[in-house]
Structure 1
Amino acid sequence: MAEPQIPRWANFILGGLSGMMAASVVHPADLVKTRMQLLGPRVKLSTATVVKRIVKKEGFIGFYSGLSASLVRQATYTAGRMGCFYSLLDLYKGQYGTPNFVAKLGLASMAGSVGAVIGNPAEIALIRMTADGQMPPEKRRNYKNVIDALFRIVREEGLMALFRGVESTVTRSAIVNAAQLGGYAQAREMLLPMMGEGIGLHFASAMVSGLITTFVYLPVDIVKTRVQNASEPTSQVKELFQIIKNEGPLKLWSGFVPTYTKLGPQTILLFLFLEQLVGLYTKFNRPPPPPSKGKKQ
């Protein structure tokens, strides 16, 4: 997708809106992924089994637990990463010209790191709210919504609890953005001669991007999830070694299918929604044409 020629502030708003729209569609897959990551070392359940348990215990509405936190996360994290990426891209072009693939990966990683810090509080709330239905009744936090979650976390655990696991969130986001944005651009470039321009190309490129992103980011995402869901502060290194020791290295790719089910369509929807929003912005903010000059009589 061509970089939108819009004001830099609009990059943040349109990026956040496109992320919220995409997240509304793929939230159930994200919830299933989180539930699978939080299964203990002695629990071996398939994706289908986890889905059936959610339907049985919580009904279909259970797939949308934590949706409010997911939307706030997109309004902060995705707005930050997309806005920063396109703003950095504009700045780079002004100084050095069109960036190559490696430069784009670097810019995407930087943007992802900024977005991760901004969106970490909502990330904490999202992890806890989506995990709640799987916890024993006496251990559930029972947050009413994302606002209630954020205020209770601050009141019960302190302000810095909102930034627990921010190091692993930054690591994950830097990898995700490089893989998602860079992978999409590379796949699009390679498939274009064979498929030609159109929705088919966008779909295939996004699915390739989602596959690459899922594989490289799942290990850091699982560690981040464990750190952020912990009731006591812990480090990502400690959690990583505990997972490998107690559950085996393959646990680092637990939830691969629901994660890919989420990331593939989410990448497609993210860029499709973004293109439409940019098109609408351009349409309604296009300067009027200069008045035509009549012929002199």
Structure 2
Amino acid sequence: MEGEVQGHYEASSEKKPQISGIEDLAYGSLSGMMGKFVEYPFDTVKVRLQTSETQVFSGTLDCLKQTWKHEGFHGFYRGLTSPLIGAMAENAIAFYAYNRIQSAIHAFSPSPKQSPLTLNQLFVCGALSGAICAFVISPVELIKCKLQVENVQGYGSSGISKPKFTGPFSVLTHLLKTQGLRGLYKGILPTVARETVGVGFWFGTYELVCRQLLQVQGKAQSKSELGATSIVLAGGCAGIGYNITSYPIDVVKSFIQTDDVRDAAAKQRPGILSTIKTIYARGGVPAFYRGLGITLLRAFPANAAMFMTYEYLSRLSVALR
């Protein structure tokens, strides 16, 4: 795979200007914000399908109809504040860590500094950045999932009951009061597993598609020369890669993080193995992929928006120097 780049995507042996770590953080943050606005309604439906009994929703369309019927447009964006902040922080750290880890590999590698990293090395860079991100986003996703699922418990009755939580801050204060800081990291192990696998494939798929497009186009020598259509395709495929590989882990994570909302009377909270058994009992292997359809539907445009935002802000920054 000739003509591909390290770090910030430059392919030729000529040394190119690279964006700083501060710019990485800023552009990653903005790309996360763009992606979250696009994907959040789909994410709400996904979490509700993952965690609800099959008699609550017959499928994706039924979940969409019932959410609109009971909560209207606002229902699809319930709990957005926390994950919006989390997405900005996650993407900022993901891009920053990804590029810094690449630089570290180059520093300790006997290969020439301008030599492109292999796809395996890039996957490792992505996986390590994902593991770091997990500790940032785990509390955010915990709050998000509780807010997304809470209202569902009243569906099918004469009317939905008054929510226990009024918003992200309400969930946060409740968790700190009842469980302390430890309560904010409920589900951290499956979150780390999901992000390590998922982000590894996220960046890995993006790099792979970009390399293939560079080979097909021939004239383009670096990612900075790929057009918007190519970036959209590579970014969308990256989102598909992330979700297909990490989805079963995400189901387990969501189930663990919402167990007290779904069954407040339960005396014992399930662990990872018992959660896997419970999910399997609900419908076998397909139960671990419930809601995958709408997740993939949102993954392409959301991740295309994220990579487009990051790439073009990076290019603009370099062009203005």
TM-score by length of 1: 0.87
Deviations 1:81-135 (A, max 9, x none): 2221111112222332432110111111010000001221111111111112212
Corresponding position of 1:163: 185
Specify whether residues 52 and 243 from structure 1 end up closer, same or farther in structure 2 by C-alpha distance, changes over 3 A only: same
Name the CA shift for 1:186/1:120 in 2 (closer, same or farther; >3 Å). Answer: same
The residue number in structure 2 matching 1:256 is: 292
Partners in 2 of 1:205 and 1:14 — Cα distance?
18
In structure 2, the partner of 1:205 is 234
> Equivalent of 1:271, from 284, 289, 307?
307
Deviates more, 1:52-61 or 1:272-281: 272-281
1:246 partner letter = R
For the residues of structure 1 that align with 2:149 and 2:43, how far apart are their CA atoms? Answer: 11
The letter of the residue matching 1:240 is I
Aligned to 2:119: 101
Question: Aligned equivalents of 1:154 and 1:55: distance in 2?
Answer: 32
Q: Distance in 2 between matches of 1:61 and 1:179?
A: 32
Deviation at 1:80, TM superposition (A): 2.1
8 Å contact from structure 1 (residues 109, 174) kept in 2: yes
Structure 1 counterpart of 2:264 = none
Q: CA deviation at 1:282?
A: 3.8
Q: Which amino acid aligns with 2:164?
A: R
Q: Which runs of 5+ in 1 are unaligned?
A: 287-297
1:121 is aligned to: 139
Query: What does residue range 1-297 of structure 1 map to in structure 2 within 5 Å?
Result: 3-4=7-8, 5-43=18-56, 45-96=58-109, 97=113, 98-136=116-154, 137=160, 140-144=163-167, 146-194=168-216, 197-231=226-260, 233-282=269-318, 286=321
TM superposition shift of 1:42: 4.6
Paired-residue identity, %: 23
Relative to structure 1, is the Cα distance of residues 234 and 16 closer, same or farther in structure 2, using a 3 angstrom cutoff?
farther
> Could you state the TM-score of these two structures normalised by the residue count of structure 2?
0.81
1:151 aligned partner, one-letter code: T
Question: For 1:177-224, what per-residue CA distance to the aligned partner results, in whole angstroms no more than 9, with x for missing partners?
Answer: 111110111122224444574222223323333333222111000000
Is contact 1:37–1:255 with CA below 8 Å preserved after alignment?
yes
Choose 198-207 or 266-275, whichever is displaced more.
198-207
- 246 and 99 in structure 1: CA distance in 2 versus 1, 3 angstrom threshold: same
Asked whether the 8 Å contact 1:164–1:233 carries over to 2, the reply is no
Amino acid at match of 1:176: G
Deviations 1:206-245 (A, max 9, x none): 3333333222111000000011112264322221121112
Structure 2 CA distance for aligned equivalents of residues 130 and 103 of structure 1:
37
8 A Cα contact 2:83 2:140, kept in partner: yes
Relative contact order, higher structure (CA 8 A, sep 6+): 2
C-alpha separation in 2, matches of 1:91 and 1:8:
14
Structure 1 residues 194 and 99: CA distance shift in structure 2, 3 A: closer
Secondary structure of 1:143's aligned partner: coil
Whole-angstrom CA distance in 2 between matches of 1:176 and 1:263? 12
- Confirm or deny: 8 A CA contact 2:198 2:241 kept in the other structure: no
Greater shift, 78-87 or 27-36, is seen at: 78-87
Q: How many pairs are equivalent?
A: 284
Question: For residues 237 and 44 of structure 2, what CA distance do their matches in structure 1 show?
Answer: 22
Which 10-residue stretch deviates more, 200-209 or 176-185? 200-209
Letter in 2 for 1:124: L
Q: Identify, as 1 or 2, the structure richer in helix.
A: 1
Cα distance, 1:43 vs structure 2: 4.6
* Deviation sequence 1:166-186 (CA, Å, 0-9, x none): 010000001111111101111
- Secondary structure of the equivalent of 2:238? helix
Deviation at 1:39, TM superposition (A): 1.5
How far is 1:250 from its partner?
0.4
User: How far apart are the structure 2 equivalents of 1:178 and 1:235?
Assistant: 25
The aligned amino acid for 2:150 is D
User: How much does 1:283 deviate?
Assistant: 5.2
CA contact (8 A) 2:240 2:300 kept: yes
Q: What SS does the aligned partner of 1:66 have? A: coil
Q: What do you get for the CA RMSD once the two structures are aligned? A: 2.2
